[in-house]
A and B are shown apart, each in its own frame.
Chain A
């Protein structure tokens, strides 16, 4: 099992390609989940994941070990995801009347409905709840990926569930 210390050792001996390979093995899926939780589109999430690892490849020689590798990588990843999200939000902002209310039709699957409800939550709550289920319900992982304290993640989850329950009831 690869550890971040192994990557640290490789970086110190300037074996960037080997270090990059290990980082890809360990983090590509996690970074993809983060991108997916922000962008909600698998194709775009994969593209942005590639951009994140390209940026990481360029920045590897600059890694100074002050922050842990995972913190450093997730910071790069979050920044890239949020700037991609902002770009797309500006490009694709739909007219207000197109946003609509979630489907009320009984025949529409619950899955579609809950996705529509999720979209009505504040962005951070959406990301917290999406990552919670993608990360096997590990608050610790969600906190590390979002760069937030565990208590804050719990509070976002708590509010998200309360709001979703209210929306489901109404």
Chain B
């Protein structure tokens, strides 16, 4: 085993056990090579430092309560998010009915024009809101 192989095997050894044969060859190389021995010490020191440095903080005790509150807030907001759309649809239908009853042209023409205008207005509003949210 040369130094290059020994260093590769040393790096591999931290991610899983080496085969007994690789272990034996690596150990005999390390016993004879000060440079690889030094690399081994460096990797050991690094492993210890990483183990000490990477410590998981705990989730706070209020995690579940806060999550529950967030879910409830969001469920309410979902309903509120739909309100402007609902108001738009109700308003448009009321305006169309009003026009159908009051305007002289045939009801079907007024109905088509009213529906088309409402749909175009809604699409325009949705596009505008979308671009504002992205900004």
Contacts and interface: CB of A to CB of B under 8 A. Distances in A.
Interface of A: 24, 28-29, 32-33, 36, 42, 45-46, 49-51, 53-54, 57-58, 110-115, 118, 129-130, 133-134, 139, 154, 157-158, 161-162, 164-165, 168-169
B42 A168 contact: yes
Contact of B43 (A54, A110, A130, A161): A161
Interface residues of B, number: 27
A157 B15 contact: yes
A24 B53 CA distance: 27
Residue from A33, A50, A51 whose CB has the most chain B CB atoms within 10 Å = A50
A28 B26 CA distance: 41
A51 to B, nearest CB: 8
B71 A57 contact: yes
A139 B59 contact: no
A18 B83 CA distance: 30
Contacts of A133: 50-51, 54
Given A110-B49, A158-B12, A161-B46, A50 B70 contact: yes
Interface of B: 11-12, 14-16, 39, 42-43, 45-46, 49-54, 56-57, 59-60, 63-64, 66-67, 70-71, 74
B57 A36 contact: yes
A157 B14 contact: yes
B67 A129 contact: no
A28 B54 CA distance: 19
A28 B45 contact: no
A169 B74 CA distance: 51
A15 B57 CA distance: 32
Contacts of B59: 28-29, 32, 46, 49
16 contacts: A46-B60, A50-B66, A51-B70, A54-B67, A54-B71, A57-B71, A111-B52, A112-B53, A114-B52, A129-B50, A133-B51, A154-B15, A157-B15, A164-B50, A165-B42, A169-B42
B15 A114 contact: no
B53 A164 contact: no
